[in-house]
Chains A and B, each alone.
Chain A
Amino acid sequence: SQTIHQWPATLVQPVGSPLSLECTVEGTSNPNLYWYRQAAGRGLQLLFYSVGIGQISSEVPQNLSASRPQDRQFILSSKKLLLSDSGFYLCAWSLGHGRQPQHFGDGTRLSIL
């Protein structure tokens, strides 16, 4: 069966520090991968998605970036965090087109001090 792992579960970082969140998927090949941010337990904002290795689509201009160095690995990064980067970050995967369900990790709670 397929599984998705996100880490760390919680992270507290000072303003201006770098960020690296990692997501890996097991049990499937060539998944679509997604990074979302969720503010205050509300709707999900799509940040990046990838349909293949090295292919990244950015949805919201900001100081975050994403990379997909391997088929089942998706990384969210920042060189300098802002206070507004605080939130709940979720990674997800799906197969095929948009009608297919997305499967989410358990998220990373990021707090910027």
Chain B
Amino acid sequence: TQLLEQSPQFLSIQEGENLTVYCNSSSVFSSLQWYRQEPGEGPVLLVTVVTGGEVKKLKRLTFQFGDARKDSSLHITAAQPGDTGLYLCADNSGGSNYKLTFGKGTLLTVNP
């Protein structure tokens, strides 16, 4: 079973700061999805990356997929309190076309 490691586990920053969170695996990702989950709600998809070296931008969020497709990063510029939440990465390399394996997530708190 593929394991996805996310770091850091917890991150608390001030509004306006930049941050990067990471998702790594010892195996090659088939594709990688990033989700954000706000307290008391279900996760919501942010982006899917498929090609090694791919970079996708979503407003102040920049997602990067490693050339070898074994790691990914999410960079947030000028963080805002609304960015607070649990950031999860997920991959479907676990031997089934229908299942996703999720990392444990990075819990981000942006203080005003």
Residues of A at the B interface (CB closer than 8 Å) are 32, 41-44, 46, 49, 51, 59, 90, 92, 94, 97-99, 101-107, 109
- A41: chain B residues within 8 A (beta carbon): 39, 86, 107
Residues in chain B near residue A109, CB distance under 8 A: 40
Q: Contact residues of B with A, CB < 8 Å?
A: 30-31, 33, 39-45, 48, 50, 86, 88, 90, 92, 96-105, 107
> How would you classify the secondary structure of chain B's contact residues: helix, strand, loop or mixed?
loop
Shortest distance from the beta carbon of B108 to any chain A beta carbon, whole Å: 12
| Cβ-defined contact, A98 with B41, below 8 A | no
Contact of A44 among B39, B43, B92 (CB under 8 A): B43
Chain A contacts for B105, CB-based, 8 A:
42-43
